[in-house]
């Protein structure tokens, strides 16, 4: 059995400034081939939940499992990695280039706190599936008050 790296963290704001990200996203929206230092893209996600679980599915075809990383905290998740471009033949040229290559990252706030000890992930047929178990809701107890 092979494993996907999962790292538990509370630091979800270490990758570049928000201003730089906003500028990059603005220019990439106008022309996906434009980027500042390296190309980046955002995989499509599906997120659904039941009363007990949250499931995230990321469409990341062509990404090697070794190039994937998950970071989990009780309230957020970050999926990042890299898709490496297939080299063009020596005398060939592109007529159409729509597939995005380079690094990607998706950071999400989760709709409910999760049990970080109970997370699993699978990668099959270009889909990364992450299964998260929600923490049990707080239980309230009535405390009797004595009159001494």
pLDDT at 46 over 60: yes
Confidence class for position 4, pLDDT limits 50, 70, 90: low
Q: pLDDT by residue (tens digit) across 127-141?
A: 999 999 999 876 677
Q: CA 78 to CA 71: how far, in whole Å?
A: 5
Using the 8-state DSSP alphabet, how is residue 36 labeled? Answer: S
CATH for 6-85+100-134 (3.10.450.40, 3.40.50.880, 2.60.40.790, 3.40.50.10490): 2.60.40.790
Domain positions in the chain: 6-85+100-134
79 with 106: CB under 8 angstroms? yes
Share of the chain above pLDDT 70, in %: 72
């Amino acid at each position: 059995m092979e494993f996907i790296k999962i790292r538990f963290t509370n630091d979800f704001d270490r990758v570049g400034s928000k201003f730089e990200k906003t500028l990059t996203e603005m220019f990439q929206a106008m022309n996906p081939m434009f980027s500042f230092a390296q190309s980046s893209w955002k995989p499509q996600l599906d997120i659904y939940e039941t009363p007990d679980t949250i499931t995230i599915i990321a469409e990341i075809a062509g990404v090697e499992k070794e190039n994937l990383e998950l970071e989990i905290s009780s309230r957020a998740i970050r999926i990042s990695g890299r898709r490496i471009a297939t080299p063009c033949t020596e005398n060939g040229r592109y007529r159409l280039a729509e597939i995005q290559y380079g690094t990607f990252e998706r950071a999400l706030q989760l709709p409910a706190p999760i049990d970080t000890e109970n997370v699993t992930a699978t990668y099959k047929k270009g889909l990364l599936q992450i299964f998260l178990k929600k923490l049990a809701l707080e239980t309230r107890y009535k405390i009797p008050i004595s009159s001494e």
